[in-house]
């Protein structure tokens, strides 16, 4: 029997242990913010704006699904605000989109976490397509003109291709580095 489950007085965690636990809990949101900052740098990549939106969407979906305590709605709001400030979309578009994706991931969490990667990826394909369409529609409404849909299609396709790469890295981090219980 583990001593952690026994009733009684336990010593207070040291400052370093509490800092380690806080760093592990904030890892998902911090990595998402750093990836947003990295993709906003003037790299000269074609489709860089779509890549930035895709990375934000992938981060929020994955961490909301597999570590919802580390990706609370306030963190999602701040990530959306950062994406809006760094990106090319009108203010509020990324915030709304990321909060909706976060809500969907939380709503379907019990089902999706029991499924294999391919089915989770297929669900992400639908969510990424819907998010790209929503961003296109909101941006068109806020600019008072009908924008060409090609960038939205490209963003959805980019999301489909980028999510597996990010999911592999995030899964490894989820099982090792970002695990607060191993602090």
Is residue 1's pLDDT more than 50?
no
* Choice between 8 and 151, residue whose per-residue pLDDT is larger: 151
Percent of the chain past pLDDT 70, that is, above it, reads: 91
pLDDT mean over 149-176: 91
Is residue 93's pLDDT more than 60?
yes
* Spatial CA neighbour of 147 closest among 89, 102, 71, 100: 89
Contact 150, 46 (CB under 8 A): no
Q: How many CB atoms lie within 10 A of CB 18?
A: 12
DSSP assigned state of 179? -
First to last CA, the chain: 20
Distance, in Å, from the CA atom of 94 to the CA atom of 134, rounded to the nearest integer, reads 10
> What digits encode the pLDDT tens for the residues 59-73?
999 999 999 998 999
Q: How many CB atoms lie within 10 A of CB 165?
A: 10
């Amino acid at each position: 029997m583990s001593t952690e489950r026994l009733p009684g007085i336990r010593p207070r965690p040291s400052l370093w242990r509490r800092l380690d636990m806080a760093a592990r809990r904030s890892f998902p949101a911090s990595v998402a913010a750093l990836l947003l900052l990295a993709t906003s740098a003037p790299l000269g990549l074609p489709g860089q704006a779509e890549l930035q939106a895709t990375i934000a969407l992938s981060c929020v979906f994955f961490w909301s699904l597999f570590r919802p305590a580390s990706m609370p709605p306030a963190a999602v709001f701040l990530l959306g605000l950062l994406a809006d400030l760094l990106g090319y979309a009108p203010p509020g578009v990324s915030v709304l989109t990321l909060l909706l994706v976060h809500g969907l991931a939380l709503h379907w969490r019990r089902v999706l976490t029991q499924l294999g990667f391919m089915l989770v990826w297929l669900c992400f394909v639908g969510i990424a397509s819907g998010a790209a369409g929503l961003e296109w529609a909101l941006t068109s409404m806020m600019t008072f003109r009908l924008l060409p849909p090609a960038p939205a299609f490209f963003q959805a396709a980019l999301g489909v291709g980028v999510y597996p790469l990010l999911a592999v890295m995030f899964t490894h981090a989820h099982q090792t580095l970002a695990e607060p219980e191993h602090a």
